[in-house]
Amino acid sequence: MPANDPCKHAPELAQGVSVTERPTTSESTSDTPTRFGAGAAGVTTAEAETIARQYFGLEVAARPLAGEKDAIFRLRGNGGDYLLKIAHAQADEATWELVTSALLHLETHAPDLPVQRVIHTLGGSHQLQITTQAGERRWARLTTYLEGEPLGRSPSSGVLRTDIGRSLARTATALETFAHPAAYRHVMWDIARASGAHQMLRELPSMPDYGLLEGVFERFETSLVQRLTPLRRSVLHNDFNTDNVLVTSDKRGVAGVLDFDDLVVTQVVNDLAATAYGYVGTGDDPLGPALDVVRGYHQESPLLQEEIVLIPDLMQVRLVMYLVISEWLSVRSPQNRAYLTRKASLAWEQLRRLSSIPADVATDRILRTCTI
């Protein structure tokens, strides 16, 4: 950021009203303001409108959207829609810059990829700091607003799931040439960090099916991690879940990719497994829907055999991580248990169905999927 950029030292703004905190990453484009948690973000719509006017020259009306620790606003006016994201007070510059830099990289290296585009300030900066009346310094970023229906509200088809796999692969390919020191960080949801969730499980001795959960972690630590560690790594999205994908009006393709806040250097296959596990079915063929995602990815960016054979096990690991981490967080935030564990019943069923498939059967099916 240039030393003389007026955005570097923004004046104090009016006292903020908190925006709800969510412990899971989501940069929703839903027009329904969230009602979760104590609301630590502390930024008002008036402040958002002032930022847009003073630093971007935009006369807009702001509306708060669902966020996590950050404050997120949809801005409408000046002939367009925008998304203003203001970091929580504890956000560090390096992590904020990581995401901003990744978006700028994708704009240059993957112009056809449907991701938000960074809007520069009047002074030419791609991000800025504001100071609240309480004296908190906050990082802020303005981007374009992506239209589309959140995938979580739409029933998925094989065609759509295949396109999700392709879109994930295109995103991963575009990020192969991106590097940033902050990407080498600890992200709780990274499959490579599953041992951290294992430690959480040891603090939850009353969890149901404890033996099943423990067994998945033990297999990861005694067998899978040795096979996983030497595999290809890159900076990856790491959170391509149904909340972060927008779909086209005909429900046949991806219209937008949101939320790069979990961006991290990890194994390529982890990024795929962390997406495909969400599509494990509860019907007669639980593996089939997830294989649609794998098929689309492999068609776009061929996987190595040593990666392919790990996918069923890594999907199990990611399911167990979700169940354990969400429970661990809810113990520490009991008032938010309903929100944190809202997908737990489905995840338990997915895990039980997936773990019931013999390993050789799952491996054979996924290998055949990637040779079709």
Alpha helices in 176-243 (DSSP H): 194-202, 210-219, 225-228
pLDDT tens profile 164-215: 999 999 999 999 999 999 999 999 999 999 999 999 999 999 999 999 999 9
Q: What was the pLDDT predicted at 68?
A: 62
Q: What was the pLDDT predicted at 151?
A: 86
* Topology at the third CATH level for domain 6-147: Phosphorylase Kinase; domain 1 (3.30.200)
Which superfamily, per CATH, for 150-369? Answer: Aminoglycoside phosphotransferase (APH), C-terminal lobe (3.90.1200.10)
Full DSSP string of 59-96: --EEEEE--SSSEEEEEEETTEEEEEEE--TT--HHHH
Domain boundaries, the chain: 6-147, 150-369
Q: What number is the average pLDDT over the span 258-276?
A: 96
Sorting pLDDT into bands at 50, 70 and 90, what band is 67?
low
96 neighbors 185 (Cβ within 8 angstroms) = no
Which of these, 118, 115, 94, 114, lies nearest to 104 by C-alpha position? 118
Sorting pLDDT into bands at 50, 70 and 90, what band is 79?
confident
Beta strands 128-131; 137-144: pairing state: antiparallel
